[in-house]
Amino acid sequence: MKFIECAQGTPEWHSSRSGKITASCFAEAISVCMRKSGARDVGDPTAAAERYAADLAIERVSGMPHGEPPKAWVLERGHQMEAAARMHYEARTGSFVTEAGICVTDDGLFGYSTDGLVDDDGLIEIKSPIDSAKILHILATGDTSEYDHQMQGGMWITGRKWCDFIMYVPDLAAVGKDLYVQRVLRDDGFIDEMVERLAKFDALVAANVAILQAGAPLREAA
């Protein structure tokens, strides 16, 4: 693995992620149809997975990010929330967090934008949801499974043993629930299965690249 030092949301960050299957999209990449729908059979890639594979193929050909970039206010809110969450996490746990940009596998196919490294074995993954139902669900149940592929993917790529899931909701400071922290341990069985399915998804991306690079005859107008 190797680290690419760059701040999230910058042109360098977008460029470094271009063409790579990133941990935040692992769940989407390996998603398959659970029931037959039209031409799609059970086990076929979902429409979202196929769209992501097409986007990545274009990025691998062009070397540039493809698609509509995140809105500026979303990025700015994310930067502010992450910085505050890291500060509160350090104060509460006594741990020191190191920002590390993007971690990439040796083959350059997969990447993980870490929110921070802790000691020799840990990561943090920060979420600042706006959806009140999601906030209440996590606080009530401790269910962070929506982010399992991202966190386990981060541990796979970085070689780390645990990830502290952090939900930061400053509006809940009055009741002492502005910072929710849950430690998630590395699950090698989960990772092995995920990596196997990611390899199949990468094969789909490669097939799309071959289509884009293949010479095509000019079509004459009817």
pLDDT for 42: 82
| Closest to 210 measured CA to CA, from 18, 104, 53 | 53
pLDDT for 10: 76
CATH code of the domain covering residue 199: 3.90.320.10
**Position 220 in a domain:** no
**Position 97 in a domain:** yes
Cβ(202)–Cβ(21) under 8 Å?
Answer: yes
User: Number of folded domains in the chain?
Assistant: 1
Reported pTM: 0.90
∠ Cα 163 17 33 (to 5°): 75
pLDDT for 70: 60
**Position 182 in a domain:** yes
Count CA atoms within 13 Å of residue 154 on its CB side.
Answer: 27
pLDDT averages per 10-residue partition of the chain, 222 residues: 79 86 96 84 92 96 81 66 94 93 93 94 95 97 97 97 97 96 98 97 97 73 54
Instruction: Specify the DSSP class assigned to residue 21.
Output: E
Count CA atoms within 13 Å of residue 106 on its CB side.
Answer: 1
pLDDT for 44: 92
Cβ(116)–Cβ(100) under 8 Å?
Answer: yes
**Position 222 in a domain:** no
**Position 109 in a domain:** yes
pLDDT for 69: 65
Dihedral angle, C-alpha 137, 138, 142, 147, nearest 10 °: 120
Helix, strand or coil, per DSSP, at residue 69? coil
Cβ(138)–Cβ(167) under 8 Å?
Answer: yes
The CA distance from 111 to 17, in Å, is 7
Cβ(31)–Cβ(46) under 8 Å?
Answer: yes
**Position 221 in a domain:** no
**Position 218 in a domain:** no
pLDDT for 57: 97
For residue 47, what are the domain limits? 2-213
**Position 219 in a domain:** no
pLDDT for 124: 97
| Closest to 109 measured CA to CA, from 189, 2, 192, 186 | 2
Question: Residue 62: what are its φ and ψ, rounded to 5°?
Answer: -90, -25
pLDDT for 125: 96
Instruction: Report helix angle 188-213 to 47-62, nearest 10.
Output: 60
